[in-house]
Amino acid sequence: MTFYPAAAPPDGDRRTAKQKIAAYLEPWLYSAPVLILIVAIMLVPLALGISYAFRDIRLLNPFSGAFVGLKHFRELAGDGAFRGALVNTLWWTFSSVILQFLFGLILALLLNRPFRGRALAQALCFLPWAVPSFLSGLDWAWMFNPVVGPIPHWLYALGILSEPSNILSDPETAMWGPIVANVWWGIPFFAITMLAALQAIPKDLYEAAEIDGAGPIERFRSITVPFLAPTMAISILLRTVWIANFADLIIVMTNGGPADRTQIVASYIFTQAFRRLDFGYASAIALVLLVLLLAYSMLIVVLRQTMLTRH
Amino acid sequence: MTRKRIVLTVLHRLAILAYVAFALFPLFWLLKVSVTPTSLLYTEGIRLWPSRASLEHYAFVLTHSSFPTFFLNSTIVSASTAVIVTIVAALAGYAMSRFVFRGKYWIVGLLLLTQMFPLVMLIAPMFKMLSPLGLTNSLTGLVIVYVAFNVPFATFLMQSFFDGIPKDLEDAAMIDGATRFTAFRQIILPLTLPGIAATLGFVFTAAWSELLFALMLISGNQATTFPVGLLSFVSKFSVDFGQMMAAGVLALIPACLFFLLIQRYLVQGLTAGAVKG
């Protein structure tokens, strides 16, 4: 407890047992609703989901429900679509994160210097973040559609496409559709966090460096980068996990197609649960994804620890 | 100004303009197609603005489709979620901000954990749990699910707002004989009103955008939310581009309104929900 009633005399704690219990319980009473919600609506289903991974649960089959051990995992090992989804997840996650981060950082640097109309420019640049993800997906799917969207015609005019076709229906290029939508939608996130970090750098550091004769590149390298590094590292790591789990854009834009070329693990789980209603198999895939993400997070924590001890 | 300065300034403004254009163009295109009469849509190709604009698609969507119902459903779900989450998160956020107690780090760890695991993992078990309770195909079921999903990040957000308010205020009130809860309600909460508004905005936007759980849990027209309605409209009538985009613009309106409301708090919100987006 940080707070004791100021009225308590200095010669000892004279509160009654009842008051002590009440003081002990107080923080728990405030947190109780949140804890109950999380345990009942997130942890219980999580535990159930893990158990489903070892059971035969199909919604349309009332006789399913039996324990099947590792059957789903053996199936997974031979499931080509799943292996493809793993590769696609890496591709989707890392290209999205890298592009979001680079463009977000550049935007933050641009917005960090004062100019007339900065508040307006900032609000407009951050607006995509407020667009619901399903709508970003649909909007970009329409932009890529040669019937109503301009992009195929532009790409054709530039000579990149041999005819104004939909890149979402070409297995070779389809993944770029959701990635572009994701980058458009996610730039504001990085720009906002980076801008906050940039504004926390003391201005006199730059002035001192300028007096010492450091050029703009030198100043960026020796002041901006070291100050931003912790924010960059944390936001990139957290974002990576988040994007690996983010299936909305893919479900909306391509539904995993064509020929599973845009299927990521998260959208594959959704497809198994929602279209095939095979809850057991879906949960087995989800368990694998959970383990992979945990392994990734652990790896990052360990890396960070070794980096910290080295310095 | 030297020549180099001028060149740099011009480049800077051009880069900003390019970003603004990139951010706005897809939204502009949505608006443009939504006001293009169907007869002009195919003949005028990719002109930036139709030779004749009309609101016929909006009129159709508002009077001849179920979108008004979907819109109402989504509003009910998102508003109830936002109100419940904000109340519950204000209480927990206050505890996180003001008390030092054993178990606090476990609670923080638990809240962080919920942000790390794949939510799609919960789709199947959630359906199995809610279905015998009669909570599938119901707005109440959706509200329960959305409240749980948004509570962790809202708690961190509210905590950051309480952290900004000096402790002496409620200490003084408690010396004067008020209970802590009274002090919380009558002194601290009114001071946190901007933070409460921001939390309402963040949660409303998140609930308004949710698609996958709504798809899984809702199957009748009665309880369909806007995202599900729009998506099934797209797969059924995939040639009525004008109507689809008019509906899309409608979905954008509340999101933009709340964006204006929470714009100032984006940094705080995104750091609290760094994992959430």
Which of B169, B266, B268 should we substitute to test contact with A (largest number of A Cβ atoms within 10 Å)?
A: B266
What pLDDT was estimated at residue B1?
A: 60
Question: B110: buried, middle or exposed (CB in 10 Å: 19+, 13-18, 0-12)?
Answer: middle
- The reported pLDDT for the residue numbered A8 is 46
**Under a CB-based contact definition with an 8 Å cutoff, are residues B239 and B252 in contact?**
no
The reply to whether B277 falls in a domain is no
Whole-number mean pLDDT of chain B?
Answer: 88
Handedness of CA B178, B182, B186, B187 (dihedral sign): positive
Question: A176: domain range?
Answer: 87-255
Position A60 pLDDT exceeds 80: no
Distance CA B226, CA B228 (A): 5
Question: Taking CB atoms and an 8 Å cutoff, what residues of chain A touch B244?
Answer: 138, 142
Mean pLDDT computed over A244-254: 93
In this prediction, the residues of chain B whose per-residue pLDDT falls under 50 are 275-277
Mean pLDDT of A279-295: 91
Domain containing A235 — which CATH number?
Answer: 1.10.3720.10
pLDDT of A35 > 70? The answer is: yes
CA distance B262 to chain A (A): 10
pLDDT band at A248; cut points 50, 70, 90: very high
Q: B267 and B247, same structural domain?
A: yes
Q: Which of the four pLDDT bands, split at 50, 70 and 90, describes residue A230?
A: confident
CB B111 within 8 A of CB B152: yes
Mean pLDDT of the residues in chain A: 87
Residue A119 pLDDT exceeds 80: yes
Q: What is the pLDDT of residue B145?
A: 94
- How many angstroms away from the CA of B160 is the closest CA of chain A? 15
Position with higher pLDDT, A18 vs A32: A32
pLDDT category of residue A274 using cuts at 50, 70 and 90? confident
Residues 69-88 on A with a CB inside 8 Å of B are none
Q: Is residue A101 part of a domain?
A: yes
Q: Tell me the residue range of the domain where B38 lies.
A: 3-54
Q: Between B241-262 and A133-143, two packed helices, what is the crossing angle to 10 degrees?
A: 140
Partners of A235 in the β-ladder: none
Q: Enter the ipTM.
A: 0.89
Number of domains in chain B: 2
A11 pLDDT more than 60: no
With respect to residue A41, please indicate whether it lies within any of the assigned structural domains.
no
pLDDT in tens, A138-149: 999 999 998 888
Contact between B120 and A290 using a beta-carbon 8 Å cutoff: no
d(CA A48, CA A54): 10
Chain A partners within 8 Å of B277 (Cβ): 186, 189, 242, 246
HEC string for chain A: CCCCCCCCCCCCCCCCHHHHHHHHHHHHHHHHHHHHHHHHHHHHHHHHHHHHCCECCECCCCCCCCECCCHHHHHHHCCHHHHHHHHHHHHHHHHHHHHHHHHHHHHHHHHCCCCCCHHHHHHHHHHHHHCCHHHHHHHHHHHCCCCCCCHHHHHHHCCCCCCCCCHHHCCCCCCHHHHHHHHHHHHHHHHHHHHHHHHCCCHHHHHHHHHCCCCHHHHHHHHHHHHHHHHHHHHHHHHHHHHHCCCHHHHHHCCCCCCCCCCCHHHHHHHHHHCCCEHHHHHHHHHHHHHHHHHHHHHHHHHHHHHHHHC
How close B26 comes to chain A (CA, Å)?
7
Selecting from A35, A59, A192 the residue whose C-beta is nearest the C-beta of B267 gives A192
pLDDT at A2: 46
Are residues B17 and B112 both part of a single domain?
no
Residue in chain A nearest B258 by alpha carbon = A130
Q: Is A203 on the interface with B (CB under 8 A)?
A: no
Domain CATH for B141: 1.10.3720.10
Cβ <8 Å between A42 and B114: yes
Report whether pLDDT(A9) > 70.
no
What's the rounded mean pLDDT across residues A181-190? 94
Say if residue A258 is preceded by a cis peptide, omega within 30 of 0. Answer: yes
**Who's near A199: CB < 8 A, 6+ residues apart?**
A112
In this structure, the number of other CB atoms found within 10 A of the CB of residue A80 comes to: 8
What is the tally of helices (H) and strands (E) in chain B? 15, 0
pLDDT score recorded for residue B235: 80
Is B45 in the same domain as B172? no
pLDDT at B43: 78
Distances, alpha carbon B118 to alpha carbons A86, A296, B135, B219, B267, in Å: 15, 13, 22, 23, 24
One domain, residues B17 and B132: no
Tell me the shortest Cα–Cα distance from A244 to chain B, in angstroms. Answer: 9
